[in-house]
């Protein structure tokens, strides 16, 4: 007989970090206009889970533990990712 675990309740912020690999191999073209700061990249930015409550909730869930995360999450692509 297996006993079900009670859910862990986590409350706090949850966010998404967006990282862009800025290496010579990833840059396709540099803008040579007045500022010269715009770069076109080959690879899309990578989204990563961030926030004080987001990571523990994710890690506990991947270990099979029931989790309830209480946080404000938007109805946009990043909110869906979270």
Residue 17 confidence (pLDDT): 85
Domain housing 12: 8-81
| Number of domains making up the chain | 1
Residue 38 confidence (pLDDT): 65
Residue 1 confidence (pLDDT): 43
- 3 falls within a domain: no
Average pLDDT over residues 58-69: 89
57 pLDDT band, cuts 50/70/90, is confident
> Which pTM value belongs to this model?
0.55
Residues 8-50 have pLDDT tens digits of 898 888 888 888 776 666 666 655 665 556 667 777 788 888 7
Total residue length of the chain:
82
- 22 falls within a domain: yes
Residue 77's alpha-carbon distances to 16, 60, 64, 80, 81, in angstroms, are 10, 23, 25, 5, 6
């Amino acid at each position: 007989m297996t006993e079900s675990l009670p859910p862990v309740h986590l409350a706090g912020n949850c966010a998404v970090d967006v990282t862009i690999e800025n290496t010579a191999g990833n840059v396709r073209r540099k803008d040579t206009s007045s500022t010269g700061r715009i770069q076109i990249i080959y690879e899309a930015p990578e989204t990563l889970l961030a926030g004080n409550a987001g990571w523990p909730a994710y890690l506990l869930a991947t270990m099979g533990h029931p989790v309830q995360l209480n946080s404000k999450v938007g109805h946009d692509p990043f909110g869906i990712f979270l």
